[in-house]
Amino acid sequence: MSKDYTQRLQHVIPGGAHTYSRGADQYPSNAPAILERGKGAYVFDHKGKKYLDYGMALRAVNIGYAEDEIDEAAIRQIRNGNNLTRPSMIELQAAELLVDIIDSADMVK
């Protein structure tokens, strides 16, 4: 079954993944070929088998997957509109916060 997913992925996505480090050739053969969801520090394959995700989305998810408080805050903001044509209040607030807490930053982008 894993081979089927790998072949399907490679048929429609160059290298089978949008990021080289996620490709099938970067993992041992017993690693799941495709994942369905994540919760906390764990990911689950299409059969529901649970794995500890040592990679945490290539280190981008250091707080864990599907954390309710964070998900709900993101959904609230999405409902306000995301990637607006002009700068948004949350963009200004985030930039000001980052400049305040990062001593070496005069500006952020």
Range of the domain at 32: 1-66
Q: Using alpha carbons, select from 26, 91, 21 the residue that is nearest to residue 60.
A: 21
Instruction: Write down the pLDDT at residue 1.
Output: 55
- Same domain, residue pair 31 and 62: yes
| Neighbouring-strand partners of residue 50 | 44
| pLDDT at 27 (0 to 100) | 83
Residues 62 and 72 in one domain: no
Same domain, 23 and 72: no
Cα within 13 Å of Cα(45), Cβ side: 13
Statement to judge: residues 43 and 33 lie in one domain: yes
Q: For the chain, which residues score pLDDT lower than 70?
A: 1
**Is the same domain home to 8 and 61?**
yes
Residues 11 and 33 in one domain: yes
| Pair (4, 52) in one structural domain | yes
Q: Considering only CA atoms, which of 22, 56, 55, 50 is closest in space to residue 36? A: 50
Edge-to-edge strands, sheet with 50-52: 35-39, 42-45, 50-52
For residue 37, the cross-strand partners are: 44
Q: Which of 9, 15, 56 shows the shortest CA–CA distance to 34?
A: 9
Whether residues 74 and 61 fall in one domain: no
Number of domains in the chain: 2
Assess whether 40 and 2 both reside in one domain: yes
High-pLDDT (> 70) share of the chain, %: 98
